[in-house]
Chain A
Amino acid sequence: MLSFIVRRLLTLIPTVFGISVLVFFMIHLVPGDPAEMMLGERASKQALEELREQLGLDKPLHVQYGRFITRLLRGDLGRALRTNEKITAEIAQRFPATVELALAAMVFAVTLGMLAGVISATRQYSAFDYSSMVLSLVGVSMPIFWLGLILMIIFSLHLGWLPLSGRLSYDVHIHTVTGLHLIDGILTVNGKGFRDALWHIIMPAFTLSTIPMAIIARITRSSMLEVLRQDYIRTAKAKGLPPRLVHYKHALKNALIPIVTVIGLQFGILLGGAILTETIFAWPGIGLWLLNAVYARDFNAVQGGTMLIATTFVTINMIVDVLYAWINPRIKVS
C-alpha cells in the first residue's frame, strides 16, 4: 500500500509541472493586457509603459515563466497585478467559502443522488425510476443561473423562508477559526451564527449540487444494476436475506467503486470554485475571484489560482485512487 501511494505521489510531479506550463502560456495567449485593462480609456503610452515595467510585463515571456516557476518552487505564488496582494493571502481569504459550499453541495448530491440511484436500480422500470432519471437529466442540463434565480424568487421573495444571497446577515458575526462558518459556529458555540450561516448556505449548495447529484444518481443506478445481476446477489436473495440487507450491504458496497470515483471527481471540480453559483449568490469564494482576475487579465492571479485549483484536483484524484485500492484490493496488484 505504501509503495502504491509513493508511486502515485511521484506521478504528481510531472503532472503539476505540465499544468504550470499550460496555465502560464495559455493565459498569455489570450488577447488583452492587464495594463490596458487597468488604465482603460485614459491610458497614455507613457503611463502604460511605466505600469508594464513596474508589473514586470515588459520582460520576454520565457523570463516571466522562469520567475513564475522559481517562485512556485519556493511555494510563492507571487502578487496579484491588480491588487498587489500576495496571491496565497487572496486565496486563503476566499478558499474556506468555496470549501464550505462544495462540502454542503456534496452532502446534498451524495445523499440524494445515491438514494435516488439505489431506489431506481432496485425498482427498475418503475414510475420512480423513470421520473428520477428524467429529473437527473433535467438536473444536468438546467442552467445554474436560471435555477438559482427561480429558487430565490420562490423561497426568498415569495415565501420569505431563506435569505437571498451572501454568507451571513450583516448584523451576524462568527469568530473565524477554520473559516467555515458552520463549523466555526459550532466550535465557538454561536447558535445564532450557525443558524444564520445554515439558512444562507441551503440555496446555493442545493443549486450547486444539481449537476453532481444527477451524475451520481445515474452512475449509482447503472453500477447497482450491474451488481444486482451477479450470482452472489442471487445467492443472497435465495438464502432468504431481506431485500434491504441485500441491496444496501451486499450490492451497494460492491457497486461503490465507480460511484466513489465520480464523487471524488465532482468534489474536485466544485473545489475549483463554482463561478456561476458564486456569482448569483454573491458567495465570496475562489470562483468569483478567479473570474474577476480573468476579466482584468491579472496574469499572476489567474496563474496562481489555477495552479492551486489544479493541484487540489490532482491531489483529490490521487486520494480517490488510494481509496480505490482500499475498497478493492485487486487494484494494488495491477
Chain B
Amino acid sequence: MKKYGVWILALGILWASGALAATPKTGGTLVFGRGGDSVGLDPAFETDGNSFMICDNLYDQLVLYADESTDIVPGLATSWEVSPDGLTYTFHLRKGVKFHDGTDFNADAVVFSLGRMMKEKKVKFFKTQWEFPKEQPPAEYWLSMEMDKIVGAIEAVDDYTVVFKLLRPEAPFIANMGMDFAAIVSPTAVLKLGPDFKSNPVGTGPFKFVKWIKDDRIILQANPDYWDGRPYLDQAIFRTIPDNSVRFLELKTGNIDICQFPNPEDIELASKDPNLKLVSQPGMNIGYVSFNHTKPLWQDKRIRKAIAYAVNKKAIVDNIYYGLGQVAKNTIPPTMWGYNDDIQDEPYDPEMAKKLLAEAKFFEKLKEAGQSKITLWSMPVPRPYNPNGMKVGEAIQADLKKVGIDVELVTFEWGTYLKKQREQDPSMDLFQLGWTGDNGDPDNFLAVLLDGYADPNVRTQWKNEEYHNLIIKAKQASSKEERIKLYRRAQELIHEEVPLINLAHSLVVCPMKKSVMNFKLHPTASIRLHKVWIES
C-alpha cells in the first residue's frame, strides 16, 4: 500500500485555497454519513464522538476553538479576565442571544448548565433560582477532567457576568471551557423535559434540533437567528451507516455528501473519482509504547533508549497506518502550541540499540528477573491513534528480535486491557496505548500521560520530580509564553529520559463531494457545519 499522507495534505491545501475564492451560497441540505449513532444529546453527560458532533452544531460554549486550531476565541462570552492569582475567572456574556426555545441566554443559564455537573453545587444565581434535577446520570467528562478539584464555585454577578472561583490556579481551565461538556443548555428545557432532554436538545447553536430516528438519522435545521450569522445550509442530516464500505458506496452514488472514517483502500478510490475530493487534518493524538515503570528492569534509561533505537517507526507508519499518519518525535502533536520542533528523534539504529543493551547489561538483568523474554501488551481494538494495535505489536516484536530480545505479544478484551494496564500488572513489560486530546492544551497530554507523581491514574506511572515540577509550574503560570517555555523543557526531558516511545500521530481523512465547500476538519475532531455551503 502506498503512502497517501503527503499528497493528501497537498490536495487539501489546494482545495482549501479554491474554497477561499468561492462565494458562499445559502440553501440546501447536507447529508453527513457516519459509522454510529449518537448516544445522547445532552453535552454534560455524553462521552462519545458521535454524540458530540451533533452537540457541536446545537450548542455553544462560553469560549470556542478557532476554526482550524485549538486557540481560544470568544463564544457566548465576549471577553473574560483572570485575577492575578489565577483563582478568579470573570466572563462577560454576549447580549441578546436566545435559546432555540425562545428563552433568554443569561448568566443564570451558565450557572445552571455547568453547576448541575458539580458534586457539591456551590452556585449563586442572579435572578432565577433554578433547581437542579434530582436524578442525573454521571457527568463523566466533568469527572474525568477533574473539574470538581478545579472549580470551587460558580456565581452569576448580574445578567451578563459570571464568575468562576477556582480552588487552585489552573491555566488549562479556559481551554476546558471550550470543550463539549461545558456547552450551555436551556435550563427551561432541561427542567421541562427531564431525562427526555437528551433526545430533544435545546441550545443556542447555529442549528436547531428537528428529529432523531434512532440508529438511522438526526435532522437539524438552520437557526436563522444565530448570533454569529445564519448557517448557509438550510438543513443538515447525520445518517448512521455502520459499514465503512457501504458508507463509501453511498458517497460514490451521491446519496451522502461527506463520508466519515472510510477504509484506507477507499481513500485511494476517492482520490481518482472526479466527483469527490479529500479533506484531511492531522489528528490531535499520539500512539505510543511505554514501559512498566514499576519494574526494576526498566529503570535504566539506557535500556529504554535502546528500545527506542530498535523500533522502526517509519515502517510502522508506512505499512500499518497506510501512510495516514506521521512519525511522532514528541508526545504532543505538531499542530499544538508549545510543540518543540528542535527535538531530534532517535533514528532507527539496531546497532546502537545492541550497544546500549550490552552497556546496560540488559540480558543479565532480564535473567536476574527470572525472565527469558519480555511481554508487549497490544490493544485488541482499533483506536483513533492506532489502526491496528496487534499489527503494530507484531512489527515491534520483529524489530526487537533483531536486537536479540524475544517478545511475547499479549492482549485482552479491551475493558480488561485498560483495567490491567492501569493496575501495572507485573507480567507487563511494554504496553501500547495512546491518547486523543480533549482541549488542545499541552497539559492535557503532558500531565495526563506522564506525570505519575501527581496522580496514580496516569497510565505510564513514570515518576520524575523535575518533570512533575515543570508541569505544576506550567499549570500555574499566568502567561502563555511562560507556559510554552516550560512545556518545551518538559519535551526535552521526555526525550532525554525516554519514559515512552512516541510512535505516531494519525491523520484524519474525509472524502466528500466536490460541491461541499468550506468544510474543515478540526483538531478536536468536532464537526462544525455553521460555515459550510453546497455549491450547486
Contacts and interface: CB of A to CB of B under 8 A. Distances in A.
Interface of A: 30-34, 36-47, 50-51, 54-55, 82-85, 90, 93-94, 145, 149, 152-153, 156-157, 160, 163-167, 170-171, 279-282, 284-285, 288-289, 292, 297
Given A152-B249, A284-B215, A288-B242, A44 B455 contact: yes
Given A84-B198, A166-B217, 5 more contacts: A39-B144, A43-B422, A170-B29, A171-B29, A282-B239
Main secondary structure of the interface of A (DSSP, over half): helix
A156 B137 contact: no
B242 A279 contact: yes
A55 B137 CA distance: 9
B416 A153 contact: no
Interface in B439-471: 448, 455-457, 459
Nearest to A44: B457
B347 interface: no
A94 B158 CA distance: 47
Main secondary structure of the interface of B (DSSP, over half): mixed
B485 interface: no
A46 B412 CA distance: 23
B36 interface: yes
Given A152-B246, A280-B243, A288-B242, A41 B418 contact: yes
B249 A47 contact: no
A214 to B, nearest CB: 24
20 contacts: A31-B416, A32-B416, A33-B415, A34-B415, A39-B144, A41-B418, A42-B144, A43-B418, A44-B143, A84-B137, A84-B198, A93-B214, A165-B241, A165-B250, A166-B239, A170-B237, A170-B239, A171-B29, A284-B213, A284-B215
A46 B148 CA distance: 12
A152 B246 CA distance: 8
B249 A32 contact: no
B414 A282 contact: no
Nearest to A35: B415
Given A41-B459, A166-B216, A280-B246, A36 B415 contact: yes
Contact of B137 (A54, A94, A152, A281): A54
Contacts of A84: 40, 45, 137, 195, 198
Contacts of B245: 149
Nearest to A176: B213
B414 A37 contact: yes
A94 B419 CA distance: 33
Given A90-B214, A170-B217, A51 B195 contact: no
Contacts, number: 134
Contacts of B195: 84-85
B140 interface: yes
A171 B146 CA distance: 44
Contact of B214 (A94, A156, A297): A94
A35 to B, nearest CB: 8
A108 B438 CA distance: 50
B138 A33 contact: no
B246 A165 contact: yes
Contacts of A153: 249
B255 interface: yes
A36 B198 CA distance: 22
Nearest to B449: A41
A43 B144 contact: yes
Given A36-B418, A164-B255, A165-B250, A50 B216 contact: no
B260 interface: no
Given A31-B412, A44-B457, A170-B31, A51 B249 contact: no
Contacts of A281: 246
A32 B457 contact: no
B207 interface: no
B434 interface: yes
Contacts of A40: 47, 418
Query: Which of A39, A90, A165, A285 has the most B CB atoms < 10 Å from its CB?
Result: A165
Contacts of A156: 249, 253
B57 to A, nearest CB: 17
A84 B455 CA distance: 30
A32 B414 contact: yes
A309 to B, nearest CB: 17
A31 B415 contact: yes
Contact of B47 (A39, A145, A165): A39
Contact of B40 (A47, A51, A83, A163): A83
Contacts of A50: 138, 143
Nearest to A289: B215
A301 to B, nearest CB: 11
Nearest to B412: A31
B185 interface: no
A51 B140 contact: yes
Nearest to A36: B415
B240 interface: yes
Nearest to B434: A41
4 nearest A-B residue pairs (beta carbon): A284-B215, A32-B415, A44-B457, A36-B415
A282 B418 contact: no
Contacts of A282: 216, 239-243, 246
Contacts of A166: 216-217, 239, 241
B242 A157 contact: no
Given A94-B215, A284-B215, A41 B413 contact: no
Contacts of A160: 253
Contacts of B16: none
Contacts of A170: 29, 31, 217, 237, 239
Contacts of B434: 41
Contacts of A82: 39
Contacts of A163: 255
Given A43-B418, A44-B457, A51 B138 contact: yes
A287 to B, nearest CB: 10
A284 B218 CA distance: 13
Contact of B249 (A34, A54, A164, A284): A164
B144 A284 contact: no
Contacts of A279: 242-243
A54 B439 CA distance: 26
A45 B457 contact: yes
B449 to A, nearest CB: 9
Interface string B370-391: 0000000000000100000000
Contacts of A45: 422, 456-457
Nearest to B40: A83
Contacts of B438: 42
Nearest to B145: A42
A282 B249 CA distance: 12
Contacts of B448: 42
Nearest to A156: B253
Contacts of B216: 166-167, 282, 284
B471 to A, nearest CB: 17
A29 to B, nearest CB: 12
Contacts of A41: 383, 418, 433-436, 459
A315 B433 CA distance: 47
A170 B199 CA distance: 19
A308 to B, nearest CB: 16
B242 A32 contact: no
Contacts of B237: 170
